[in-house]
Chain A
Amino acid sequence: VSIRNTIRDLRAARSMTQQDLADQIFVTRQTVIAIEGDKYSPSLEVAFRIATVFGLPLEQVFQYDPPKLRRK
C-alpha cells in the first residue's frame, strides 16, 4: 500500500484506544488495526472522519508515498 499514516502515534498522543477511534469513525476495531498496519486504504470519507477526530488536515494524517519505478 502506497498510503502511509500516523494514526497510531496520534492515537497514542491522545491516549485513545483503537476501539474508541473505531466507535468515533463508525468502523470495526479490526478495520482500525488494518488501517494502522497499512494493510488497508480507507475510503475518502473514512479518511476525512479520522482527520476530523484528530482535528488535523488530511495530509498530516495520511501521506502518499508514490511507488518508485525501476530504471533500466
Chain B
Amino acid sequence: VRQPFAGYTYRQKETAIRLLANLVVLAAFVVHHALYHGTRKYYPFFFLAFAVPMLYANVTVWMRADMSTDDRDIEIQTGGDSQGYFLLSLGIFFLLMYPSDNTPTLANKLFVLWMLSNIVASGKQLRLYAGHRSWFPDSFSEWLRRRSRNRIENPTPRQREMATRWMEREQRRKERK
C-alpha cells in the first residue's frame, strides 16, 4: 500500500500537513463560532488544536524523512509566503479601515485571517511543488499570457487605432505646453 505523501520531500510533507491542520482548525472554529457565538472559554482549544498536530507532524516527519532542502524549496516557500502575507496585510488594512470596539470580535477576525493566510500560503506552495505557476489551470494561465503578449506584439486594428489616437493626443498636449 502506497503511503500518503510518499513521493513528497520533507518540505512538501510539512506544507501539506500545515494546510490540512489549518483547514480543520478553521472549519472547527467557524462551526464553533456559529453555534456558540464565540464563547471565549473554548478559545485556547483552537490554538492547541492548531499547535499540537503541527508539533506532532513536524517531529514525526523530521524523524523519518530527509531534511535536506535546496534552492527550489526556498523559492517555493517564498512564493507561497508572499501571497499569504499579502492576504494578511490586506485583511489587517480592512480591519483598520472598519475598526470594531469589541475586542473578542477583533480577535476572532484576526484568528480567521491568520488561518486563511496560512491556507493560501500552503496551497500556493503545494501548487508550485506540483509544477504549476499560478492558481489557475495551466491552459488558462497560458492563454492569459499569450493574450497579453499578442496585445503588445500583434495588436488588432482597433488596438492599433486606439494607440495612434492616444499618441496624437499626447503629441497635441506636448505642443500646447
Interface residues of A (CB under 8 A from B): 26-28, 30-31, 34, 37, 39-40, 42-43, 45-46, 67, 69-72
Contact flag A46-B146 (CB < 8 Å), given A69-B153, A69-B154: no
Q: Are B131 and A34 in contact (CB under 8 A)?
A: yes
B72 in contact (CB, < 8 A): yes
Q: How many A-B residue pairs have CB under 8 A?
A: 46
How many residues of chain B are within 8 Å of chain A by beta carbon?
A: 20
Q: Are A72 and B71 in contact (CB under 8 A)?
A: no
Q: Are A69 and B146 in contact (CB under 8 A)?
A: yes
Q: Are A71 and B71 in contact (CB under 8 A)?
A: no
**Smallest distance from the beta carbon of B153 to chain A beta carbons, Å?**
6
Which residues of chain B from 58 to 87 have any CB-CB distance to chain A below 8 Å in the complex? 66, 68-73
Which DSSP category, helix, strand, loop or mixed, fits chain A's interface? loop
Q: Are B146 and A26 in contact (CB under 8 A)?
A: no
| Residues of B contacting A46 in the complex (Cβ-Cβ under 8 angstroms) | 71
| Residues of A contacting B9 in the complex (Cβ-Cβ under 8 angstroms) | 28, 30
Q: Are A69 and B131 in contact (CB under 8 A)?
A: no
- Contact partner of B70 among A26, A67, A69, CB < 8 A? A26
Q: Are B149 and A69 in contact (CB under 8 A)?
A: yes
Smallest CB-CB A-B distances: 4 pairs: A39-B131, A27-B70, A30-B9, A31-B72
